[in-house]
Structure 1
Amino acid sequence: MTRTHVITVLIADDDPFVRRGVSDIFAATDDIVVVADVDDGDQVPGAVARHRPHVVLMDLKMKRVGGLDATRQLLAHPSPPKVIAMTAMDVDDLVVQAVSAGAHSFLSKDEPPQTFQQSVRAVAAGNTLFSEESLRRIVSAGSTQVSAPAADLSALSPRELDVLRALATGASNADIAATLYLSETTVKTHISAMFTKLGTQNRVQAALCAFRAQLVS
């Protein structure tokens, strides 16, 4: 595999064993390389500036600067990397707030190695790996905390509604294209228009809009 296809990753976690374990998970791949790791959120901006990772795996509970604040600071900059929030829980309040802050995906630290690898690949490609059940838990656990706007789905075209419904199941652009008999370019165009109309920043927030509006049961 050529270097142009390598996904670069920064790991931010205050537990050295977690950093080592996650690094080992990616060392087993040919297409994901850990370019740096840091032990607190206040080190993330400098490490991102130096290494320009495609994806940051962000622990949400660090000692000096938590991952939530670090995510907010990072995503306020132009052209930030994608952020995957990591937590010891499947879904907790910090995950809810991280999604609100614009995190592109989330992972429980006890997920199997292949889930870490698949999540990084999905996020780097502009997709998101999540389960419908996880989104249901976010909606039920923190619907008042997630700042994804209350969506008026009437602004969406019928085809955009189809795309949103598929996206909310965790389907990739390729899967949506195959299901709806569209090109991937057309799917991306629909998703971009959908984000603008819904006022959302990423696929997770758009999917949450679909769940709140009961577009997905």
Structure 2
Amino acid sequence: MTSVVIADDQELIRVGLRTMLESRGIDVVAEAGTGGEALDATRRHAPDVVLMDIRMPGMDGIAATAELVREGLPSRVLVLTTYDLDELVYRALRTGAAGFLLKTTPAERIAAGVEVVASGDSLLSPGVTRRLIAQHAPGESCDGARLVGLTEREREVLVLVARGRSNTDIATDLVLTEATVKTHVNRLFAKLRVRSRAQAVVVAYESGLVVPGRRDP
């Protein structure tokens, strides 16, 4: 059974999310009203997923996500937000969140999103990602230094990850086995020092490997 910590400063939202998730067989192991409480609950319960609001008093969701990543906690963060093009969403993904959902998302899709993130995948629309990058990425020239050390094949895989392709899709595109693709993905994650596909996508754009508005060859 998938386990979840719900972090939101509004009790009404927490209660609604708990009721919805538990009715679909997801175990809500704790609730938190601040980022600090979310971090404490994550350390204590080691949930599969933390449903993390961004704007909370004290330590916000971005700071809590950053600390969770720094400590190497295995729980994956799924951000809940009000606006899909908010700069804070971009910062959360850059920090290591595995994806995001709008708070207005239907209940079935939130539950499905939790399961997707718990399985190790990212929940990220390629189109929304491109708009986020275009709107909020740093304005200075792109730094390709982070790509140093990637093989040509790993660069190809990273481009396809940035396009939103699954491992199965990438295997078809590059005529490889899924196991080989998974190995390439794991290696490029290690080399880029990222923990999610969402974070890898941000690197692909910020490094200039993929450029918003430019068609890939």
Question: 1:193 pairs with 159, 177, 187, which one?
Answer: 187
Which 4+ residue blocks in structure 1 deviate beyond 6 angstroms? Answer: none
Question: 1:10 pairs with 5, 10, 26, which one?
Answer: 5
Task: Give the deviation of 1:192 after TM superposition.
Answer: 1.5
Q: CA distance change for structure 1 residues 35 and 181 in 2, over 3 Å: closer, same or farther?
A: farther
- Aligned residue for 1:130, secondary structure, equals coil
1:130 paired to 2:118: no
Question: 2:33 pairs with 36, 39, 46, which one?
Answer: 39
Letter in 1 for 2:63: D
Task: Give the deviation of 1:95 after TM superposition.
Answer: 1.1
Task: Give the deviation of 1:62 after TM superposition.
Answer: 0.7
Q: CA distance change for structure 1 residues 206 and 28 in 2, over 3 Å: closer, same or farther?
A: same
Q: CA distance change for structure 1 residues 200 and 38 in 2, over 3 Å: closer, same or farther?
A: closer
Counterpart in the other structure of 1:3: none
Q: CA distance change for structure 1 residues 152 and 61 in 2, over 3 Å: closer, same or farther?
A: closer
1:101-121 Cα deviation digits (max 9, x unpaired): 211212211122233223222
- Aligned residue for 2:50, secondary structure, equals strand
8 Å Cα contact 2:97-2:199 kept in structure 1 = no
Instruction: Give the number of aligned pairs.
Output: 209
Question: 1:95 pairs with 89, 92, 117, which one?
Answer: 89
Q: Which runs of 5+ in 1 are unaligned?
A: 1-5
Counterpart in the other structure of 2:209: 213
Question: 1:119 pairs with 113, 123, 131, which one?
Answer: 113
The whole-number CA distance in structure 1 between the counterparts of 2:73 and 2:39 is: 13
1:132-188 Cα deviation digits (max 9, x unpaired): 12111221121118xx96456575434323422332233333443455443333222
The whole-number CA distance in structure 2 between the counterparts of 1:71 and 1:51 is: 16
Q: CA distance change for structure 1 residues 115 and 175 in 2, over 3 Å: closer, same or farther?
A: farther
Letter in 2 for 1:117: A
Question: 1:176 pairs with 170, 173, 182, which one?
Answer: 170
Counterpart in the other structure of 2:53: 59
TM-score scaled by length of structure 2: 0.83
8 Å Cα contact 1:149-1:199 kept in structure 2 = no
Q: Which runs of 5+ in 2 are unaligned?
A: none
Matches within 5 A, 1:144-159: 144=138, 150=144, 153=147, 155-159=149-153
Q: CA distance change for structure 1 residues 182 and 79 in 2, over 3 Å: closer, same or farther?
A: farther
8 Å Cα contact 2:5-2:42 kept in structure 1 = yes
Q: Sequence identity of aligned pairs in percent?
A: 37
Task: Give the deviation of 1:8 after TM superposition.
Answer: 0.6
